[in-house]
Each structure stands twice: as C-alpha cells, then as structure tokens.
Amino acid sequence: MAEITLSSAVRNNLLSLQNTAALLGKTQERLATGLKVNSALDDPTAFFTSASLNSRAGDLSRLLDSVGNAVQTVAAADNGISAITKLVESAQASARQALQKPGIASATITGTGASVAADTAATIVATGASLTADVNAVEAGTGGFAAGVAGTFDINGNAVTFAGSENIGASQILIQNVLDANTINATVSNDGTNLTISANDADTTLTINNDSGGVLAGIGLDTTTSTTQVNLLTQVGALATETLTLTVGSASTQTITFGTGGSQVSTLAELNTALGNLSGLSTASVNVADGNISLTATSAADDVVIGGSATITATSFGLTQTTLEPGNATIGGLTGSTTLSVTVGANATTTVTFGTGTDVGNLRDLNAALTGLAGGTASVDTSGNLTVTATNNTDSIVIGGTTTLSTFGVGAGATAPGNNADRAALEADFNNIRSQIDQLAADASFNGNNLLTGDSLSVIFNRDGTSSLSITGVTVDSAGLGINAAATDSFQSDTAVNVSLAELGNAISNLRQQASTFGSNLSVVEIRQDFTKNLINTLETGAANLTLADLNEESANLLALQTRQQLSTVALSLASQADQQVLRLF
C-alpha cells in the first residue's frame, strides 16, 4: 500500500522473510513429490528428456508382455516335443517287445496216418526178345581117320600141311598147333576114329577149305556136316557197331558196343558178362536162351534210362528206348489221373496228377513235384504223410484235389496261420500311444498359439517393429511324424514291426532336430526379454536421474529455511520495536 511507509529495516526484513517463505514452499513441494523437476517450468530440458525416456520405457514394457507370452508359447512347444519324444520312445519299446515275442505261426499242415508203400527200384524184365542161344562152330569128322595122306588144307586161311606119316594123334597135335599159332579159339579132339575141330565160343568162325591132295577126306573131316556158329551178330546182323546205353540216376552213361572187336560184344554170353559189370544196378542180365534182358536199379531213388545208337539195339532184347522209374504200389494204384492240389495264400496252385508216363507214380516224383510249391514248402515222408508249411506267416494253405486225400494223411480245406496274443496286445498299445501323440500335440498351445500344429509366431522386440524374430511352427502329430497306424494283425509279422520301428526312428530324429530349433528360438527370445528388462531399467533410471529430488538435500534445505524463517521473523520483530521507540517520546 502506497500510503503505508515502512522503514528500511522493516522492509528488508519483510523481503527476506518472503523469499524464505517461497524457498520453503518449493522445498516442501520437492519433498512432497520426490521430484526436483515437477513441470517444464522447473527445467524444460530435463522435464522433456525424462518424459521421452519414460515413454520409450513404457512402450518396451508393453512389448515385454508379448515377449513373455512368446517365451511361454515356445516353452509350451518345447515341453510338448519332450513329451512326444517320450511317447515315441514308449512306442519303440512296445514294437521291440513284439519282436521278442514269437511271431505269427506260419500255417502248417502235417499229415498223419498215411500208409503209402515204399518206392521200389526201377526194374524191367523183358519178354519180347526172340533170339536163340549161342552155338559154337564145329567141324566133326565122320569118315574115319586114314594114315599116309599127304597134302594141305586151310583153317581160317591158315595152311595145315600133312607129310603122310602122321597118325590120328599126331594129326590132332598138328592141327592144334596151327590153331594156337594163329590164335584161333578152337580145340581139336579125337575119339580114336575121327578128328573134331570145335570153336571154344560162338564168337569164333571155322572156315575149312582149299583141300589139296584129298587130305580132308583122308583124315575123315567132312565139311558138309559142319555146325555153323550162332551169335548175336549172325542172328541180328544190323547190331554190328551199334550200342546199347544205360544211365542210372545221375551217374555217367554206360555203353555196350556190339561187334567183333576186343571190347565189343557179339554173343549172349558176352552180353551177360557186360551187363553184370555195369554199376548202379542190383541185377542186370540177359536170358542166354532167348535174349530177354532183366534190369533192376540198386537205389529206389534212381531212374534207369535205356538208349542206344539205334532202336533195334533195345528191341532185339525185348526193351524200348525209355526211362524206367521207381515204382510204388500205392501211388501206382491211383489211376484215372486223380489229382492233389496245394495253394498257399494268393500264389499259384500246384497240382500233382497221379498215373503213369508223364504223371507222378512214386514218392520220389511226388516230392519233386511238390518242390516247386509257390509261397511255401511241401514234402511227403517215407510213409506218404504230406507236410506243407507257408513261407509267409500271413498266408493260409488250401488242400484239394480229386484223389483220396487220406492216402497222404490229410483232408481237404483251408488252414490259417495262428496269431500271438502278446503281439496283438502290443499292437494295441502301439496304436494307443500313437493316438496320445496326436492329442498331446493338439494340447501343446499357449494363449491360442500352437507351434506343434503348424501355427507360426512373430516376436517384436522394439517400438517400430524393425527388430523381431519369426518362429515357424511344425506338425508333429503322428501323421506329421510319419508314424502310421499298425494294421490289424500286422504286428504278427516281424517285417511289419521293423517298418514301424524305422518310422519311429525317423520320428525321433525329427523331434530332436525340432527340439534343437525351438531351444535355439527360446534362448534368443529369453535373451531379448532380459535385454529389454535391463533396457527399461536403464531408461527409467536415466529419466529418474533427471527429475528425482535428493530428499536428504531437500530435508537439509527445509531445516535451513525454517531456521532462516525464524531468524527473519525475529529480525523483523526487532526492526518493528525500533520503530516503536518513537512512541515513547509522547
């Protein structure tokens, strides 16, 4: 107020008290808010810089929430993969246990009660030959021996010379010497009256001619009464140089050659010897009276093949060029081309036709016919019991045919393989685990995002989105992992179980690889999460450093200002008292 005049001392004290009160109010405000900069008026630079830092920290705090969700999403996927891996390993254990259990029993038929006769050795007793027995050549004297005859005659082209002084005994010796010297297989004998020249075998020819001086008549030999030799070659001239061959089983072919050579055969006796020398035959001979050959193989498992260079070779001895097979009284009696058929699974049917000729007539040939069974094995034992086993343990066996099947100890119809109950239970366990894999993969989500069912995730780390991480989801249910369901009864087969084990092995490899990828992604997100937290703290600390008050300092200031205020009040009082001294004058 202008009309009021204050003394200089009072005014100075009043101004000091006002300034102290203003400072005291500011200090109290700082203590109350904890800020040294409460508005832009306090410090524009610090206020706006702090506001900017706090704004950025706030934005990062909001992003930090989404980063935290991303961490949990990846962690849920990683946990899901770990759990699925354990399920796959459990499925592997079930499959491996199945391999340790007996597999499905292959269908098998084992005949019982058959009474098929044993095979008999291949044999033949020929009856169609019409030869005659061997006959040796003979020149028999009938006219009586007369001494004193001189001259010559030929025996098989070899000269016999008489001096005229020989008696019957000397003549016998003379002729025998010529025979021996020229290897003529003949013998000279005398009965005291007549000389007789006899071939020792039917192979030897005696030709007596070229009589000179009437020697033959003198010594009593009359060529008109000679006996001509009879042998194979004289009866069947076409046999010369031909061959008869016999092959027993898998042995080499044995050959008999007809002719007059050193190792050749020309008589029934020689043929009988040659047959007896053949191997692989228990009996082999020729009837020396009619030429019919009889043969029997040593083994009932061997064929005997009759052959030769010409048909006449075999037919001359009542044979034909053919193959003699073992016989069987029981199977040989299955006439009328009856059949036995065996079928394994979807394979071609093996049909055996019984009979003679090209059909099956013995146990050996029956086993040979069954050897080619498609999809399995089949055989008959020595009693004729039929055994059939399927190769694939999922195939059935069907027996049929027109013959009396009981002959081979079996009946008509189908025989199925047998399942293993333990394997069936493990197959069910496998499929249940596979279903659990699907369910677990579907449950591994967080906040509606499932990286195990193909969802993807983008994690943003700064305000403008220039710093981010894209995480691609995968499909790790049973289909995505390539684990196929086990078909009904498939675990009965080791092959099918091994296929499932291979699929599980691939699945585990893929899971481990994906777990590594998710682990790497989770590590990156967690590192960025920690970084963002630290950055927020840094920003907020920086902002606080610009605006926060030092409460200790402000408290000290408050105390000092309060003291100053008190002193200013005392000083003002003293100044007012000085002005009041004037009143004492009145």
Q: What does the mean pLDDT of the chain come to?
A: 83
Task: From residue 560, give the alpha-carbon distance in Å to each of 13, 15, 33, 99.
Answer: 17, 17, 20, 93
Work out the angle between the directed axes of helices 421-443 and 44-100 (0-180°, nearest 10). Answer: 170
pLDDT in tens, 527-539: 877 877 787 777 6
- Distance (Å, whole) CA 80 – CA 101: 32
Instruction: Give the chain's end-to-end CA distance (angstroms, integer).
Output: 27
In this prediction, residues 166-191 reach a mean pLDDT of 89
* Residue 246 banded pLDDT, cuts 50, 70, 90: very high
Is the dihedral angle over the CA atoms 253, 259, 260, 266 positive or is it negative?
positive
Strand ranges for 407-467 from DSSP E? 413-415, 457-460
The CATH code of the domain that includes 529 is 1.20.1330.10
Asked if residue 42 belongs to a domain, the reply is no
pLDDT value of position 481? 87
Of 307, 324, 341, at which residue does a domain stop? 324
Which of these, 302, 307, 396, 304, lies nearest to 349 by C-alpha position? 396
Q: pLDDT tens-digit profile of 354-384? A: 876 668 888 998 899 999 899 999 999 999 9
Residue 389 inside a domain? The answer is yes
Banded model confidence at residue 446, pLDDT cuts 50, 70, 90: confident
Identify the CA nearest to 491 among candidates 225, 101, 158, 76.
101
What lies within 8 Å, CB to CB, of 65 at 6+ separation is none
Cα–Cα distance for residue pair 174/354, rounded to 1 Å: 70
pLDDT band of residue 334 (cuts 50, 70, 90) is confident
Are the CB atoms for 64 and 532 separated by under 8 Å? yes
Amino acid at 91: A
Same domain, 338 and 275: no
Position 392 confidence tier, pLDDT thresholds 50, 70, 90: confident
Residue 507: is its pLDDT beyond 80?
yes
Residue 43: band (very low, low, confident or very high) from pLDDT cuts 50, 70, 90: low
Q: Are residue 250 and residue 334 in the same domain, yes or no?
A: no
Asked if residue 545 is part of any domain, the answer here is no
pLDDT at 560 > cutoff 80: no
Sequence-distant (≥ 6) Cβ neighbours of residue 182 within 8 angstroms: 155, 156, 158
Predicted pLDDT of residue 214: 85
Q: Does residue 77 lie within any of the structural domains?
A: yes
- Same-domain pairing of 272 and 302: yes
Q: For residue 575, what pLDDT band results from cuts at 50, 70 and 90?
A: low
pLDDT (tens digit, 9 = 90+) per residue, 218-230?
A: 888 876 657 788 9
Which residue has better confidence, 549 or 407?
407
Residue 195 to residue 186: CA distance in whole angstroms: 13
Is residue 534 domain-shared with residue 439, that is, in the same domain? yes
Torsion of CA 58, 59, 62, 65, to 10 degrees: -110
Q: How many CB atoms lie within 10 A of CB 29?
A: 15
In a domain, 445, yes or no: yes
> Which residue segment(s) compose the domain that 464 sits in?
62-101+422-540
> Is residue 81 helix, strand or coil?
helix
Q: Is the pLDDT of residue 398 over 60?
A: yes
- Rounded to an integer, what distance in angstroms lies between the CA atom of residue 172 and that of residue 151? 15
Using CA atoms, how far residue 345 sits from 108, 136, 388, in Å, is 12, 71, 12
The verdict on 491 and 528 lying in the same domain is yes
146 and 92 together in one domain:
no
For 305, the 3-state DSSP assignment is: strand
Same domain membership, residue 193 and residue 88: no
Helix 551-580 × helix 8-33 angle, to 10°:
160
Residue 585 lies in a domain: no
Clarify whether residues 238 and 309 are in a common domain.
Answer: yes
Going from the C-alpha of 503 to that of each of 276, 314, 424, 478, the distances in angstroms are 70, 70, 19, 10
Amino acid symbol at 7:
S
pLDDT at 547: 57
Same domain, 407 and 472: no
Domain boundary, last residue among 518, 540, 562? 540
Number of structural domains found in the chain = 4
Nearest CA to 162 among 141, 144, 147, 184? 147
Measured over the CA atoms of residue 152, residue 155, residue 156 and residue 159, the dihedral's sign is: negative
Position 583 pLDDT exceeds 60: no
More confident residue, 13 or 144: 144
Last residue of a domain, one of 324, 352, 378: 324
Mean pLDDT is lowest, of 25-39, 168-182, 313-327, for 25-39
Q: Does residue 553 belong to any structural domain of this protein?
A: no
The whole-angstrom separation of Cα 528 and Cα 55 is: 20
Does residue 252 share a domain with residue 142? no
- Do 442 and 533 reside in the same domain of the chain? yes
* Secondary structure element (H or E) that encloses residue 175, with its range: helix 168-181
DSSP readout, 526-553? Answer: HHHHHHHHHHHHHHHHHHHHHHB--HHH
pLDDT tens digits, one per residue of 468-501: 778 888 888 888 888 899 988 888 788 889 999 9
242 falls within a domain: yes
Strands (E), 223-318: 243-248, 254-257, 281-286, 293-297, 304-308
Q: Same domain for 454 and 471?
A: yes
Query: Do 84 and 437 contact (CB within 8 A), yes or no?
Result: yes
Q: Which of 124-128, 138-142, 464-468 has the lowest mean pLDDT?
A: 464-468
Residue 196, beta-bridge partner list:
140, 189
